[in-house]
Chain A
Amino acid sequence: MSTTQPLFQHHKHCDEIFADAEEACSNGDWTAGAKAFASFAGQLETHFLSEEEVLFPAFESATGMSSGPTEVMRGEHRQMRDLLAQMKLALVDRDSDGFGGTAETLLIMMQQHNMKEENILYPMCDSALGGTDIGNSIAQRLVAS
């Protein structure tokens, strides 16, 4: 297993619960939507924290690149957290247009972010962190969430 394999798989898991939340809210099923959204927001936060507290610092100390790609990814995490907060407000207000529009925006933001990570940053991390135990610590965090 490569260092970033658990994060790669976790992207797909987040996609699935995102789709559940979006579908429920667009059908007006706010109870199921709130449950799926809470699960999605929790999983996404765990994912971000696993990267920001474990993967990125390890990559930065291994390569000395502290203001490069990881900084860009942290910035995009901030943007996605803001979008999540907007979705939560729309959910509380039962504003299906607001929820759907922000969900759509978050989806595209999240997908292009994931592709950058999967195609570029994760391979860089795998080559810089091969032979370390970072992958296992990340997997444990994700499983525990």
Chain B
Amino acid sequence: MHPSLSFEQAPPISVPYRFFLVAPWFGVLAGLLLAWSGGDVLASRWSPDTLALVHLIAVGFMLQAMSGAMFQFIPVAVGGNVWRSLWVANAIQPLLILGALLLVAGFHFSAPVLLSAAVPALLAGVGIFVGVVLLALWRTPATGMTLWTMRIAVAGLAVTVLLGALLAEALARGLDLPIIELTNVHLAWGLGGWALMLVAAVSYFVVPMFQLTNPYPLWFARWFGPLLLVMLLLWSGLWFRDDLRPAQAFGVPVSLLCVAFASMTLRLQYTRRRKINDATSLNFRVAMIALLVFAISGTAMAIDPTISDDPRAAVWLGMLVFPGVFVSTISGMMYKIIPFLNWLHLQRLGAPISAVPNMKKMIPGDSMTAQFRLHVLAVLLLLAAVWLPSLAEVAGLVFSASCAWLAWNLTLAMRSYRRFRDQIRASVLRC
């Protein structure tokens, strides 16, 4: 049988769930750290606590959620068989959590020993993950741009983490390396090569599916990922030239590519056949608007480098992209994937479908929408706090509360699953 034609290879529900349930708590920590550190932390992208904040979101929130989603997505969407997914999840999740916490503590306390200690944990965790996932993506007989874009994204993750490990060791041991240039390349691969690439790959599949939009045009899906990859390769080289102006100017075409993806997704959403708005479609829309503002700001900074003279300009970009684009996208995705996973696994327990509660009974809709509103408020406050540092404490607390609420909603979903599972098992036994 063709591997894509059933869910037999889909992992046990505990595999994606463990990553989804942990991810928001890194967001809670990030908000608390910002509230505790205050507005000074937003004065520059290079302050230790700014680096700690970025990695709480990137290595904590995003990497957890994206890893969990890939375990689920690869078998279902591209028919790949992830080798021993339960074993791999058991092995890598503690490594990723430990690595993220050590890294963040290393930045926060400016402690080289902690930075060094984070490196093997993250290299091992991400290394196993990348190896297993690439194997699955390579062996699947499926074709199409979701698959190819996903392969590029996983390679992008590997590049990001290798560069990150090099940077952490350079900081910890005082190695004589071009730290600023390497950081720019590390950031570009993390945001573009891994995160945006993965969002694109998944969007090709889920945007038409969840919202009944037209598919992304084939020419777009064929060109977007490979073009972004080529641009990242070129950009990486330009940062190491003596004259930095070409590297700065190259921000324009990269930003235009972001504009293209955001505009295409918004256009598809605008012309969607399904007019119902829910927490998923709203989160996606906010994410794409944030990506547009990010790209416009990036273009302005590339055209007029004096704007970047204010170190807060880079922090502004970070606020747009981390909480604005990626936390929104991930939250929206989790709000749709998790109720469907619940339903999918419950209906496999052997009860008639009429006995399986529908997707909307897994997480209260009002609670998801209210959390989404709080998240939008948090993003707006975070953006304002870049220019009005006195808002940093309240922005941090609101972001923290929003992430805690997300965690609570996901916990409710897990409880619903357990409750319905026990009810169905009891009724199947009675029959």
Where chain B touches its partner, the secondary structure class is: helix
Binds B, one of A36-44, A55-63, A113-121: A113-121
User: Is B209 an interface residue when CB atoms closer than 8 A count as contact?
Assistant: yes
Q: Are B340 and A108 in contact (CB under 8 A)?
A: yes
Q: Are A105 and B358 in contact (CB under 8 A)?
A: yes
- Residue of B whose beta carbon sits closest to that of A110: B209
User: Is B303 an interface residue when CB atoms closer than 8 A count as contact?
Assistant: no
Min CB gap A75→B, angstroms: 8
Contact with B along A92-108 (1 / 0, CB 8 A): 00000110111011011
Min CB gap B378→A, angstroms: 27
Min CB gap B262→A, angstroms: 23
- Residue of B whose beta carbon sits closest to that of A90: B358
B273 contact from A16, A68, A116, Cβ within 8 A? A16
Q: A26-B276, A79-B347 are in contact. Are A112 and B5 (CB under 8 A)?
A: no
Min CB gap A34→B, angstroms: 18
Where chain A touches its partner, the secondary structure class is: helix
Q: Are B343 and A82 in contact (CB under 8 A)?
A: no
Min CB gap B337→A, angstroms: 9
User: Is A111 an interface residue when CB atoms closer than 8 A count as contact?
Assistant: yes
Q: A16-B273, A86-B353, A86-B354 are in contact. Are A101 and B361 (CB under 8 A)?
A: yes
A108 contact from B2, B210, B352, Cβ within 8 A? B210
- Residue of A whose beta carbon sits closest to that of B340: A108
Q: Which of B232-266 contact A (CB under 8 A)?
A: none
Contact with A along B205-242 (1 / 0, CB 8 A): 10011101000000000000000000000000000000
Min CB gap B1→A, angstroms: 5
User: Is A23 an interface residue when CB atoms closer than 8 A count as contact?
Assistant: yes
User: Is B76 an interface residue when CB atoms closer than 8 A count as contact?
Assistant: yes
B274 contact from A22, A72, A83, Cβ within 8 A? A22
Q: A116-B5, A121-B5 are in contact. Are A102 and B274 (CB under 8 A)?
A: no
Contacts of B384 in A (CB 8 A): none
Instruction: Give me the interface of B with A, judged by CB distance under 8 Å.
Output: 1-2, 4-6, 76-77, 79, 142, 144, 205, 208-210, 212, 273-276, 336, 339-340, 343, 347, 352-354, 357-361
What would be 13 A-B contacts, judged by CB atoms less than 8 Å apart? A19-B212, A22-B274, A26-B276, A69-B1, A69-B2, A72-B6, A79-B353, A82-B353, A82-B354, A101-B358, A101-B360, A105-B340, A115-B77
